Chain A
Amino acid sequence: MRALEPWVVQPLETFLAESAARLTLLMTSSGQVVAQHGFSRSLDVMTAAALGAGIVASTDELARLMGGAGFEALVHHGQRQSCMLAAFATPRGRWIGLVVFGPETSVGIVRLFFDQMIGQLAAAAPREQPSAPMLAENFETELDASLKALFGR
């Protein structure tokens, strides 16, 4: 498990231990990865983050068209593994969690401990905001640094 910010580590480690999730990705609503577990290639992480953020944006718009609040979570049930995608509020803005899990656990367990992780993240988040916004001119440098932090190379 790797995270860009140290305060994310403990809540995510607890979630991983309790839920038995195979893959987990935490990202901002724009698809910027905050933490990951289980991915071995940076390309997979970037693709999953972009697709996950896109799906959440689509379902949010769908919910708006239907005249309701946004969906809490989206779950795809598969034969060998399933996937849960959920957006949630943090003191650092709206984040998205993408969780892939197998038959060794259940969607109820994953959801239960995911909700607990949201509470732990809210409690652990530092009160001060990040210093500088992401700008186009330093985007590539920031991306490289993030990928190194997330994959250790």
Chain B
Amino acid sequence: MTATQTSLDRVTRVAGVRGALIVSAADGLVVAEQLMDGVDGQAAAALTGSLVGRLARTAESAGLRPPVFVHLRGEAGSVLAAPGPDDLVLVAVVGPEANLGLARLEMIEAAGRLA
């Protein structure tokens, strides 16, 4: 199993996670994905890649270090993102019932191993 598949497996194993994908932040394109039916990977990759890139630039402009974890909460769930090396971002789409603490830990750990 490749490192990317291992990372996705760790994240999708967390209860409430509807899918995970690895995104090239600069391009907003999917590198690898494990998604449930109904989750639009192309849209998630494009929009999350853009969001993480803008947040990193915002933090830099404010004299801060780039974010290590992004949590975008909506009414029906959340989008989680953990930037990794080589401009890759680990993204998870989770439902409202998800264990966010465990998902966060797994994502930060898995994102650090992306390369």
- Chains A and B belong together in one complex: yes
How far is B28's CA from A108's CA once the two chains are assembled, in angstroms? 4
Q: A46 interface residue, CB < 8 Å from B?
A: no
Find out whether the CB atom of B43 lies under 8 angstroms from the CB atom of A107.
Answer: no
Find out whether the CB atom of B42 lies under 8 angstroms from the CB atom of A106.
Answer: no
- Shortest beta-carbon distance, B85 to chain A, in Å? 19
Count of B residues near A, CB < 8 Å? 14
Interface range on chain A (Cβ under 8 Å from partner): under 10
Q: B34 interface residue, CB < 8 Å from A?
A: no
Pick the most buried of A106, A109, A111: most chain B CB atoms within 10 A of its CB: A106
Measured CB to CB, the nearest residue on chain A to B40 is A112
Interface residues in chain B, defined as those with a beta carbon under 8 Å from any beta carbon in chain A = 23-24, 26-29, 42-43, 45-47, 49-50, 53
Interface residues in chain A, defined as those with a beta carbon under 8 Å from any beta carbon in chain B = 105-109, 111-112, 115
For the complex with contacts A107-B27, A108-B23, A112-B28, 20 further pairs of A-B residues with Cβ separation under 8 Å are: A105-B50, A106-B26, A106-B27, A106-B28, A106-B29, A106-B46, A106-B50, A106-B53, A107-B29, A108-B24, A108-B27, A108-B42, A108-B45, A108-B46, A109-B46, A109-B50, A111-B46, A112-B42, A112-B43, A112-B46
